[in-house]
Structure 1
Amino acid sequence: MKRILLVLFVLSSFWSIAQTKVSGVVVDETGEPVAFANVLFKNSSQGTITNDNGVFYMESDETYTTLIISFIGYDKLELPLPTKVNYNLKAVLMESSEQLDEVVVYVGKQSKKNNPAIDILKKIWAKKRENGVSKFKQYQYDKYEKVEFDLNTIDSALIKSRLFRGMEFVFEDLDTSRITGKTYLPIFLNETFSKVYGDNKLAETKEDILGNKNSGFSNNQALIAFVKDLYSDYNIYNNYLKFFDKSFTSPLSKTGVDTYNYVLSDSAYIDNKWCYNIIYYPRRKNELTFKGDFWVNDTTFAIKKINLEVTRSANINWVKDIYIEQEFEVLNDSVFLLKRDYMLSDFSFSKKEKARGVYGKRTTVYNNYMFDIPKPREFYKVDANQFDPSVFEKEDSFWSDNRLEPLNKDEKGIYQLLDTLRTVPKFKSMYNIASILGSGYVEIDKWNVDIGSVFNVFGYNEAEGMRLRMGARTYFGQNDPWRLEGYLAYGFGDHKFKHGFSAKWLVDKKNRIIISGGNRRDIGQLGISLTATSDVLGRNQATSSVLTVGSNNRLSNINLSAFNMEIEPITNLKFGVGSSLRTLSSALPDLFSLDYVDPESPTGISSEIKQFEISTQIIYTPGRRTIGYGVERRNINDDYSTLFLNYSQGLEGFLESDFNYRKVQFSYSQPWQLGWGRLLSSVELGKTFGEVPLGLLNVIPGNQTFFSVYNSFANLDFYEFVTDTYATVHLEHNFNGRLFSRIPFMRKWNLREIVGIRGAWGDLSDENIALSSPTNVPLIAPTNKIYYEYSVGVGNIFRILRIDFNFRGNYLENPDARAFGVTGSFGFSF
């Protein structure tokens, strides 16, 4: 949500030196637009595909005098270009009088049988593992990447608007996008040069970043994180390509024949290689698909050139256009290697043609390929020296030597433009608003402090009534080696102040040894997670929701002090050891009891638990990618799995601790990008050895809020099931609109279907039941049969709302059991 808010508010080119520019519309004899028609400059392989409305735009650095326009079932049209710039052309295609032998159906859906394009596609599938760097044992190459943001659809009304009053100088030079034909203003540029190494035998890769430079925002953690997260790497040969948290079907996918229409359009020499040209376009609307064409070699069946454009009807929010170009070079007359990758995204509130927005553009150039130079496995296990500040402080001579594609005059001007803009007070204000929305913090540079998070200020619960919270943290830069953070809260119902404070220190950067500690004294909801947390700055919806289901009176007073140390000697493999001392008591003792049998108490019963615990953890996150090298890093992908193993030991008597026990916990979570959407899966297991009271047992996570919370049970009340041995599983699949898109009257709504099922099994020993017998909480575990729930949901309602309908599968005889419930969530998502 924060990333999308940021890009929609940040004022953001590829400044063209094109010699030929052309735009227009292609229609048939009746005046109806011809979607997905092929438009080429004559005697070239440069072309495009018309959109759903038959509209096209393209440009070239070369001078051309004729367009070739074609579509299956129509006669090919040659359209003269009288000048270098020709806008608003109208091309009328005439229905063909000659049938083509190769294709059975000539308009609309293409046949899957006797289609030469599909025969070629099958050969691409067979050869895809024999092309590119996968053909060699080892490989390495240079990689240069530039990412740019531009404000687009500039017109006189915008230039004269109050928004830009005092900043009119930024519009002195404007140009037109070669993809969309819109005017734009560049506002941000980030450059990175790196060396990439890989070993196919060891299945290892490594990227050493040697230089990074951006136009004026190097200290803003939110914007830099968004830039890195915006464009993830992809491989066009994969079955599915992930962009903006969505899984698009690749036109080279083995499932493509069920998703796309394919037409063999042309053949020609490209760089002395005979290639076929295949046009593709989607069979149905509203699915996550592309349209475009590709050129494929006739012997290796490797892709030489490809362009992909997301169809305007695709079920994706806030993105009006996505356009991709990839070019490959030939090595030794057989192997095709990626040479250049270009991607443009048009972010906008609306998909209307004239809607203003922000371009996000990435250009990646690859060079100096070298092969079969083996390196030891240890080489790939050791991270590059990313914390070396010199990476971000390279001289101009470094960039002159290592830019694999030079900046043109106007791209160089972005750096000067931003230096000037940063001196304009109005721009500073606009930038600060975008930064707050993106990070949640108000930056006070002169104090090196951030105030926030602004999203945590207000809350409500039955123990405190209305609650206000204000926090702050130190911030010198995104790679700070240490950080202090804290908050102060006040409950207007109990008239008490609460606080939390933490400190973190990155002791060793190479092995990422981090020491942390702090204290929290606050109201909390135990049992919202099976894995106990030592987070001293914790906050959850259970204590801050304005509305709840039923009576949420099972809250606790928590006084937690923690000290932890972690080390990450190998990327994504983290070891931790820590200790904590917590004191627990009921925040509403008349309604909720944590009482337990205590022979040493004068009454035989105690209401407060004091417990010291030491723990060791192993966390493995294969495939996770991060940015930054300070004490806090940011994840830039969410498609990695997480394996978690924890062993805890309670020490009776130490620091007046009450209980002695051992606890083992394991969890595994994995997202799956599937052809029919995205599946989230997680499994948790745990067992406690020894006798402990209710406050230290494992509670199956309930949810009495109206929010949909993954890894909780929507129809369980807090403390409805209590265990010392447990196993849970959660499955949630988002079809991303692939079902609704097949229902004609629902297509335009762009709704998304979500289904889920979750289950829990647990046990509770007689000894632990007896120990906690004084409490007024029913001590029930789902032992005899697995508790389960299932849900169906509709997402993307008005592009911001999701509603889930939750059904309880069993244990309906429990007191006040909720058989049905509705939860929801809202936010900005692609």
Structure 2
Amino acid sequence: MRYVYLLCLSLFSVLSVFSQTKVSGVVNDESGSPVPFANVIFTNSSVGTITNDDGSFYLESENNYTSLQISFVGFKSTSLDLQKSVTYDIKIILEEEASALDEVVIYQGKTSKKNNPAIDILKKIWENKRDNGIYMFDQYQYKKYEKQEFDLNTIDSSLINSRIFKGMEFIFEETDTNNITGKTYLPIFINEAVSRVYGNNETNQKKETLIGNKNSGFSDNQTLIAFIKDLYKEYNVYDNYLKFFDKSFVSPLSTTGVGVYNYVLADSSYIDNKWCYKIVYYPRHKNELTFKGDFWVNDTTWAIKRIKLAATKSANINWIRDIYIEQDFEVLNDSIFLITRDHFMSDFSFQKKEDARGVYGKRTTLYDEYSFNIDKGEAFYNNNREQYIDQVYHRDSTFWEQNRLEALNKDERKVYDMLDTLKTVRAFQRLYNIGSILASGYVEFDNFDFGPIFSTFGYNDVEGIRVRAGGRTYFGRNDPWRIEGYTAYGFKDNKFKYGLAGKLLVDERSRLILSGGNRRDIEQLGASLTNTNDVLGRSLASSSLITVGSNTSLTDINLSTLALEIEPLKNLEVRVGGSFRTLQSASDQFSLDYYTNEARTETASEIKQTEISTMITYSPGRKTTGYGVERILINEGDFPRLFLNYGVGVKDVFNSDFEYERLQFYYRHPWQLGGVGKLTTTIEAGKTFGDVPLGLLNVVPGNQTLFSIYGSYPLLDFYEFVTDTYTSIHIEHNFNGRFFGRIPLLRDLNLREIVAVRAVSGTISDSNQALNASYSNPVLMAPSDKPYWSYSVGVGNIFRVFRLDFHFRGNYFENPGARKFGVTGSFGFYF
């Protein structure tokens, strides 16, 4: 995410759109209350819109119109003459009417589900529901052109004259108004991409080949491009739910739509020589993830010809003030339709107030040159690994003239010239540097990044206040090698710590990587059930500023690793490595001691262990960017992950103490459940074969911090349960405000309900118990009689950035110091 947050700070230019008629205002009833979802159109035209939840509207057309027509069932229709081509802030009052209007006009409130011609047409759409035409053939291919833009909106004199833009005032020389919202805006970024897309429906394989990419600012920035593409991922309006920004919106074409939307038959007309009906829809309830808008449907194929979707203002989604979608289709025959144009616009803003500043994100995708049943062969799809080709990002003007499916206007072309000027402005460089630090956590120098700065301070009972400084080499986002390290100092134990690691990309095609490193530090072992030998990793439990009770159960670890990893198939990684570690207690109040003889008369405090492990990770659906030794994850938390680890402890190599075998399995899967939210399930299982001391056993991860740590048990203390065989399950469901949104006093707060259940069962053998030489801290105990379990209820989206979880212990209340109830919290920026 090195440059994602720089969009709003680093690129500026000018775009001018010439429209002939612009109108904005608000529609109220006689009591002054807003009339949401009223129909506003230019008289004698099909150009119109629907008022928002607050009765406001904006309407624009390239043609000249002299009057407006406003209608809503239950009210008298009214016309309003326009004295000027640009008229803002019109106040319109609708008078109530006792007699019902014609049912073709917009209904007031909830429309009838019976004898409604719009719903009769909707049922026809369901009966003839079809897949996109590309899935009606064995193979398909097409050309795709994407244009992505970001615009700074709500430009006013206070922004232009603010100190932040001192020295960059020239970028505001020309602004215009958005034809959807009517707000002033200034383009700040544009990206163009041309691709060839190939698919085989028989084998369910797909391949997209980028043949050209151009953007204002970073000509080869795959990271920025990938984040934008994932932000505006493709969707199918015929699906019941449309997923945007990790939220599932109910489609107006959904088979459950009748219970969610009001539908009205509003018009009929010819579109491309096909007779079509216009259906207007709007939501039945506030605060749900729904749209308002209209669609045109053909009267014989019942296929959608054109559709518009605008997210309602009350939708429970953060940082997004508006979402607007337009799609056009080409209907080939009764069973085949092809999408030809898709336009998606969102308005990012910290506030939902209309006068708050924000950033428009716009993506326009055009599809052309469809062809079918051309078999490319299985080998073509198997070679689907992303590769960086420098030429793709440096295409000449001739290429773009030939491959653009929609020409840039003269003002869009200016965006490409503006950044070259901005790069020479000192004020812009300051903004860029600040954005870079916030985005990556690193301070950039020539070929070296200092940080991460967010890990500079920490605290625990052994080290006291801990300070840390580190950095990494950075020559470019596709570096074939990278070295990073850190040093830290604890003011209580008066000791320095350090870590140093390096990676080398040996082969780009197979992603063969050689890595190794050494770390000497204080760590909280057992912070997770499934462990990997991450040289520079450190858990929050080791550095949390506030904890529940004291935490002296920390370990002094000296870890060295050497590994070779490869990616034989996309998102399938195999890692074979060796490690050597020494472990000893970092506190005299915590013991890792073990017996060294059968008579249990001699003990050792230090564990020396050599281990060889094979790790297999499979992450279907994972999206990454970059082609160097390190890649950036694009869709974190949005794909399943399977992990299998087989480790062997080797005795007497480097004076290693123990011989054992270890098997671990981890499976995490997020499930989007449409209108009821997101379910995340995690299953872990493992077993250690052989006798090992406490430092090598599997500790059920407790959590004595006040922070919510996924995968941990928040009411367990560190080392409360220790196992050599375990099975764990964690189920968490976020309802995304489905219930809070129905409660009047809570509805406007956009809170979200979260429930979770955790359970773990495990055993520890008698021989491993006997090996332990500690009688007080800790006392080895496993949840063997019955699974330990707890449950929690949480409230998310508090002030849009905070989450509180309330935890309740299910059993094992007899354990010493058992906590029955606890509260944890977390911060995060989520849509």
> What's the TM-score bracket when you normalise by the shorter of the two chains?
over 0.9
Query: Relative to structure 1, is the Cα distance of residues 592 and 283 closer, same or farther in structure 2, using a 3 angstrom cutoff?
Result: same
**Displacement, 1:293?**
1.2
Check whether the contact 1:342–1:361 (CA below 8 A) recurs between aligned residues: yes
Check whether the contact 2:223–2:626 (CA below 8 A) recurs between aligned residues: no
Q: 1:756 maps to which residue?
A: 756
Q: Does 1:569 align with 2:573?
A: no
C-alpha distance in structure 2 between counterparts of 1:349 and 1:387, whole Å: 35
Q: Does 1:619 align with 2:620?
A: no
C-alpha distance in structure 2 between counterparts of 1:84 and 1:756, whole Å: 57
Q: 1:360 maps to which residue?
A: 361
C-alpha distance in structure 1 between counterparts of 2:71 and 2:430, whole Å: 50
Q: 1:455 maps to which residue?
A: 454
| 1:60-116 Cα distance to aligned partner (Å, 9 max, x none) | 344445544433344555555455433334444454565367689942112223322
1:99 match: secondary structure: coil
Structure 1 segments (4+ residues) deviating >6 Å:
1-5, 219-222, 600-603
Check whether the contact 1:24–1:87 (CA below 8 A) recurs between aligned residues: yes
C-alpha distance in structure 2 between counterparts of 1:381 and 1:45, whole Å: 49
**Displacement, 1:21?**
2.5
Check whether the contact 2:73–2:105 (CA below 8 A) recurs between aligned residues: no
Q: 2:380 maps to which residue?
A: 379
Check whether the contact 1:104–1:114 (CA below 8 A) recurs between aligned residues: no
Query: Relative to structure 1, is the Cα distance of residues 303 and 77 closer, same or farther in structure 2, using a 3 angstrom cutoff?
Result: farther
Check whether the contact 2:485–2:501 (CA below 8 A) recurs between aligned residues: yes
Q: 1:85 maps to which residue?
A: 86
C-alpha distance in structure 1 between counterparts of 2:222 and 2:707, whole Å: 29
Q: 1:21 maps to which residue?
A: 22
Query: Relative to structure 1, is the Cα distance of residues 21 and 103 closer, same or farther in structure 2, using a 3 angstrom cutoff?
Result: closer
Q: Does 1:701 align with 2:706?
A: no
Q: 2:595 maps to which residue?
A: 597
Correspondence 1:661-672 to 2 at 5 A: 661-672=660-671
Q: 2:630 maps to which residue?
A: 632
| 1:308-336 Cα distance to aligned partner (Å, 9 max, x none) | 11111112222211111111123257532
Correspondence 1:224-235 to 2 at 5 A: 224=225, 226-235=227-236
Q: 2:417 maps to which residue?
A: 416
Query: Relative to structure 1, is the Cα distance of residues 775 and 396 closer, same or farther in structure 2, using a 3 angstrom cutoff?
Result: farther
Opposite residue 636 of structure 1, the aligned amino acid is I
C-alpha distance in structure 2 between counterparts of 1:802 and 1:384, whole Å: 38
C-alpha distance in structure 1 between counterparts of 2:823 and 2:219, whole Å: 44
**Displacement, 1:29?**
4.8
Q: 1:316 maps to which residue?
A: 317
Query: Relative to structure 1, is the Cα distance of residues 88 and 770 closer, same or farther in structure 2, using a 3 angstrom cutoff?
Result: same
Check whether the contact 1:102–1:114 (CA below 8 A) recurs between aligned residues: no
C-alpha distance in structure 2 between counterparts of 1:490 and 1:593, whole Å: 23
1:749 match: secondary structure: coil
Q: 1:651 maps to which residue?
A: 650
Opposite residue 558 of structure 1, the aligned amino acid is I
Correspondence 1:53-92 to 2 at 5 A: 53-81=54-82, 83-92=84-93
C-alpha distance in structure 2 between counterparts of 1:226 and 1:441, whole Å: 19
| 1:751-788 Cα distance to aligned partner (Å, 9 max, x none) | 11111101000011111111124464111111111110
Check whether the contact 1:305–1:328 (CA below 8 A) recurs between aligned residues: yes
Q: Does 1:673 align with 2:672?
A: yes
Check whether the contact 2:15–2:174 (CA below 8 A) recurs between aligned residues: no
Query: Relative to structure 1, is the Cα distance of residues 221 and 535 closer, same or farther in structure 2, using a 3 angstrom cutoff?
Result: farther
Query: Relative to structure 1, is the Cα distance of residues 472 and 60 closer, same or farther in structure 2, using a 3 angstrom cutoff?
Result: same
Q: 2:484 maps to which residue?
A: 485
C-alpha distance in structure 2 between counterparts of 1:268 and 1:221, whole Å: 44
C-alpha distance in structure 1 between counterparts of 2:379 and 2:66, whole Å: 57
Opposite residue 613 of structure 2, the aligned amino acid is S
Which consecutive residues of structure 1, in runs of 5 or more, have no partner in the other structure? Answer: none
Check whether the contact 1:209–1:386 (CA below 8 A) recurs between aligned residues: no
Opposite residue 764 of structure 1, the aligned amino acid is I
Check whether the contact 2:576–2:614 (CA below 8 A) recurs between aligned residues: yes
Q: 1:326 maps to which residue?
A: 327
Q: 1:769 maps to which residue?
A: 769
Query: Relative to structure 1, is the Cα distance of residues 745 and 404 closer, same or farther in structure 2, using a 3 angstrom cutoff?
Result: same
Which consecutive residues of structure 2, in runs of 5 or more, have no partner in the other structure? Answer: none
C-alpha distance in structure 2 between counterparts of 1:775 and 1:387, whole Å: 58
**Displacement, 1:602?**
11
Correspondence 1:710-789 to 2 at 5 A: 710-774=710-774, 776=776, 777-789=778-790
Opposite residue 722 of structure 1, the aligned amino acid is V
Which has the larger displacement, 275-284 or 236-245?
236-245
Q: Does 1:682 align with 2:682?
A: yes
Query: Relative to structure 1, is the Cα distance of residues 11 and 322 closer, same or farther in structure 2, using a 3 angstrom cutoff?
Result: farther
Query: Relative to structure 1, is the Cα distance of residues 810 and 142 closer, same or farther in structure 2, using a 3 angstrom cutoff?
Result: same
Check whether the contact 2:585–2:591 (CA below 8 A) recurs between aligned residues: yes
Check whether the contact 1:131–1:336 (CA below 8 A) recurs between aligned residues: yes
Check whether the contact 1:11–1:150 (CA below 8 A) recurs between aligned residues: no
Correspondence 1:486-565 to 2 at 5 A: 486-565=485-564
Q: 1:174 maps to which residue?
A: 175
Correspondence 1:90-489 to 2 at 5 A: 90-95=91-96, 99=100, 106-218=107-219, 223-224=224-225, 226-332=227-333, 335-383=336-384, 386-444=387-445, 447-489=446-488
Q: 1:584 maps to which residue?
A: 583
C-alpha distance in structure 2 between counterparts of 1:334 and 1:19, whole Å: 40
**Displacement, 1:44?**
5.0
Q: 2:48 maps to which residue?
A: 47
C-alpha distance in structure 1 between counterparts of 2:409 and 2:816, whole Å: 72
**Displacement, 1:2?**
9.5
C-alpha distance in structure 2 between counterparts of 1:692 and 1:475, whole Å: 41
Check whether the contact 2:11–2:216 (CA below 8 A) recurs between aligned residues: no
Query: Relative to structure 1, is the Cα distance of residues 467 and 228 closer, same or farther in structure 2, using a 3 angstrom cutoff?
Result: farther
Quote the sequence identity (%). Answer: 63
Which has the larger displacement, 86-95 or 558-567?
86-95
2:129 match: secondary structure: helix
**Displacement, 1:487?**
1.0
Check whether the contact 2:153–2:360 (CA below 8 A) recurs between aligned residues: yes
Check whether the contact 2:7–2:188 (CA below 8 A) recurs between aligned residues: no
Query: Relative to structure 1, is the Cα distance of residues 221 and 623 closer, same or farther in structure 2, using a 3 angstrom cutoff?
Result: closer
Which has the larger displacement, 206-215 or 225-234?
225-234
What's the TM-score, normalizing by structure 2? Answer: 0.95
Opposite residue 16 of structure 1, the aligned amino acid is V
C-alpha distance in structure 2 between counterparts of 1:90 and 1:101, whole Å: 25
Correspondence 1:787-806 to 2 at 5 A: 787-806=788-807
C-alpha distance in structure 2 between counterparts of 1:330 and 1:107, whole Å: 33
2:748 match: secondary structure: helix
**Displacement, 1:521?**
0.8
C-alpha distance in structure 2 between counterparts of 1:162 and 1:352, whole Å: 23
Query: Relative to structure 1, is the Cα distance of residues 328 and 72 closer, same or farther in structure 2, using a 3 angstrom cutoff?
Result: farther
Query: Relative to structure 1, is the Cα distance of residues 380 and 8 closer, same or farther in structure 2, using a 3 angstrom cutoff?
Result: same
Which has the larger displacement, 453-462 or 31-40?
31-40
**Displacement, 1:11?**
6.3
C-alpha distance in structure 2 between counterparts of 1:731 and 1:279, whole Å: 40
Check whether the contact 2:603–2:773 (CA below 8 A) recurs between aligned residues: no
C-alpha distance in structure 2 between counterparts of 1:377 and 1:73, whole Å: 61
Query: Would you say how many aligned residue pairs link Structure 1 and Structure 2?
Result: 827
Check whether the contact 1:11–1:358 (CA below 8 A) recurs between aligned residues: no
What's the TM-score, normalizing by structure 1? Answer: 0.95
Opposite residue 305 of structure 2, the aligned amino acid is K
**Displacement, 1:20?**
3.2
| 1:174-227 Cα distance to aligned partner (Å, 9 max, x none) | 111111111111111122111111122222211111122221135778755543
C-alpha distance in structure 1 between counterparts of 2:518 and 2:508, whole Å: 25
